[in-house]
Amino acid sequence: MQIQENISLRPYNTFGIDAKAKYFAAFDDVDELEETLNSKHHNLNFILGGGSNILLTKDVDGLVLKNEIKGIKEIHEDSEYVYIKAGAGENWHQFVLHCIERSWAGVENLSLIPGNVGASPMQNIGAYGVEIDDVFWDLEAYHLKEKRLVTFTRSDCEFGYRESVFKRKYKDQFVILNVTYQLRKKPRFNTSYGAIEQELEKMGVKDLSIKAISDAVINIRSSKLPDPKSIANAGSFFKNPEVSVTKYEELKSAFPGIIAFSLVNGNMKLAAGWLIEQCGWKGFRKGDAGCHANQALVLVNYGTANGGEIYNLSTEILQSVNEKFGVILEREVNIV
């Protein structure tokens, strides 16, 4: 373990924000985590994973830890499923590819989502009709105050749309160490959401496979979303808002082109990107802070924007959407 001082966090967040941490250290197992927490630099501010869902708005006057716990292993199987445990510090997309290579099905629709394994249950990440909730088995986490290991089952996590207990009830109380997924030996293909079927047809796919679905998702995401290595961003900045059917019908009457999806609870989920685009933000740029030209859901840093400039832009977007549609958007990205 090595604790560094006055370290720029720019390499550790996909927004490329040059905020500084007073103290910084990485850990690759629970013993190293405990050793660091027991050091004199015990003023822990937050844990970094892949840094792909965070906006740093100021320097950090305390300790920032980076989770680098690695490892992927099969721990159990039955007639229908294989159970795969992955370290929280594993790159999510590389984990997905690892599963596809071994014909472990269930996460192929979640290809190319930025970030690490540890964030997957925290955010209940989802895309193209699949969420972590669908493949999650359990996770192991470290309770920071009680200094003990705790196992969380699916029901313990209380998954919701981009939500879990780790974002609300237990926020900043646990460090996720590893996650176990329940993956299928025989795939159940999910191609009905978004443009997957059209992309598969364009690709000329005759025999459907999880590899083909993954390739289609990668193609679609690459065409819509900017690579953080090229343009700094944190993916979708806002959640898709949920409204009642009554509210949706009102909006549909006033805005016939509105995009929405029905939910099992009877409500409607609106496409936040469409709402933002209708307010004129798509492609907007002020200094180095902007709204991406191809996807209005994504805020970007074109170079040297600071976290405050990105945050202020997001506030303006929230206000304009509320004024035009009477809909309150919620930030998906964590603000620090």
Sign of the CA dihedral with 73 first, then 78, 82, and 83 last: negative
Catalytic residue at 332?
yes
Q: Select which of 131, 199, 309, 332 is catalytic.
A: 332
State the alpha helices, DSSP H only, in the chain.
Answer: 30-37, 92-101, 119-123, 154-157, 196-203, 210-224, 245-254, 272-278, 307-325
Catalytic residue at 236?
yes
**3-class secondary structure for 8-51?**
ECHHHCCCCCCCEEEEEEEECCHHHHHHHHCCCCCCEEEEECCC
Q: Select which of 221, 236, 242, 309 is catalytic.
A: 236
Q: Using alpha carbons only, how large is the chain's radius of gyration in Å?
A: 20
Q: Residue 151: helix, strand or coil by DSSP?
A: strand
Name the E strands within 224-304: 232-236, 242-243, 260-262, 268-270, 285-286, 289-291, 298-301
Q: Select which of 162, 164, 214, 314 is catalytic.
A: 162
Catalytic residue at 188?
no
Which residues pair with residue 154 across a beta bridge? none
Any idea which residues carry the catalytic annotation?
Answer: 162, 236, 332
